[in-house]
Amino acid sequence: MVAMAKPWLWRIGVAALGLAIAVAVGWRLSSDVTVVIVVCAWVPLAAWCLLAPRVLAALPIALVLLAAIGTIWWTLPGQPGDRTLSVAWSVLLWYPLPGGLALLAATWWSRGRPTRPLWMVIGGRSRPAEEPGPVRPVWLRPTATLVATGLLVLGCCLGGLASGVGMPSPDELFPLPAGMDATRGTGPDGSDGCDQTGHSCWTYYQITGAAGESTDVLTERLRRHLREARGWSGAESCRPVHGFFLRTATQLCITVTSDPADSVDHPAIGVELSMTNLSPAA
């Protein structure tokens, strides 16, 4: 039993470590981005650990896929835009490709090796002496092929299904510091939504402060929060959105405005988050 389990030890260990890294890298951004990281970066590693044949390169390739998960700390460093799902999705779609290609290549490179039915594998029956090399169950090759193809489709094709720029994530602003409350409101561009072309989307929040706090103090506290906790360079700034180190024609903006609800006893300011595609075709 120990001899049978030993080949699986590194596979289980690497997959578990990869899941821990994926959650740690994603959780600092948002829960939605964490799910996308697990799907795009960890699932290829798990598929390789589970389905890859016993070849000399199996462990090195697993370690490369594990290291790739760690690179998300640099491709999505937590700057404005990295917490928005459409931005993170465009960056992470590249991550399934290496795992899918490696699994497909390794599966068919070993196609000449003997197989045996699954019931023989589970029953622990030894292979005939004339069968050289490691024995693989008959279901493994088609299963690995389907999984590898799915990873390649995820990395190559699904990016074209997303239309428009998408709504800015509330995580670009929240959580707010103590003493601030937020409610959705109607800003200069109207209530939350997108234009008819889908090339510009926005969301508006009314931020209120503590009773007796001046609007100037509330605005300065918000500026400090945006700069220190969310990476914005200012309270009225735009940041070009990058996809896997490549600058795109989309920009994410934050605008702080006065709010009609502002009063001496009830300070309030408005914050609008917007994403706009600036390409000429848009």
Is there a single domain that holds both residue 23 and residue 109?
yes
CA distances from 84 to 19, 153, 161, 165, 176 (A): 21, 23, 17, 10, 17
Is there a single domain that holds both residue 146 and residue 206?
no
Q: List Cβ neighbours of 190 (8 Å cut-off, separation of 6 or more).
A: none
pLDDT of the residue at 239: 81
Q: Is the pLDDT of residue 80 over 50?
A: yes
Q: Is the pLDDT of residue 3 over 60?
A: no
Q: Where is the domain boundary, 136, 161, 186? A: 161
Is there a single domain that holds both residue 155 and residue 228?
no
pLDDT of the residue at 152: 83
Distance from C-alpha of 12 to C-alpha of 148, rounded to nearest angstrom: 19
In a domain, 92, yes or no: yes
Distance from C-alpha of 282 to C-alpha of 195, rounded to nearest angstrom: 11
Is there a single domain that holds both residue 259 and residue 201?
yes
Q: Evaluate the CA torsion angle 44, 49, 55, 61 in order and state its sign.
A: positive
Q: Is the pLDDT of residue 145 over 50?
A: yes
pTM of the full structure: 0.78
In a domain, 50, yes or no: yes
Is there a single domain that holds both residue 50 and residue 152?
yes
In a domain, 282, yes or no: no
pLDDT of the residue at 213: 84
Q: Is the pLDDT of residue 220 over 70?
A: yes
Strand partners, 255: 272
Chain mean pLDDT for the chain: 80
Q: How far is CA 67 from the centre of its chain?
A: 16
Choice among 2-11, 199-208, 252-261 with the minimum mean pLDDT: 2-11
Q: pLDDT tens, 205-215?
A: 999 988 888 88
Q: Where is the domain boundary, 130, 161, 192? A: 161
Closest to 202 in 3D by CA, of 165, 243, 235: 165
Residue 187: give the domain boundaries.
170-277
Total domains in the chain come to 2
CA distances from 216 to 42, 158, 229 (A): 46, 46, 20
Q: List Cβ neighbours of 47 (8 Å cut-off, separation of 6 or more).
A: 99, 103, 144, 147, 148, 151
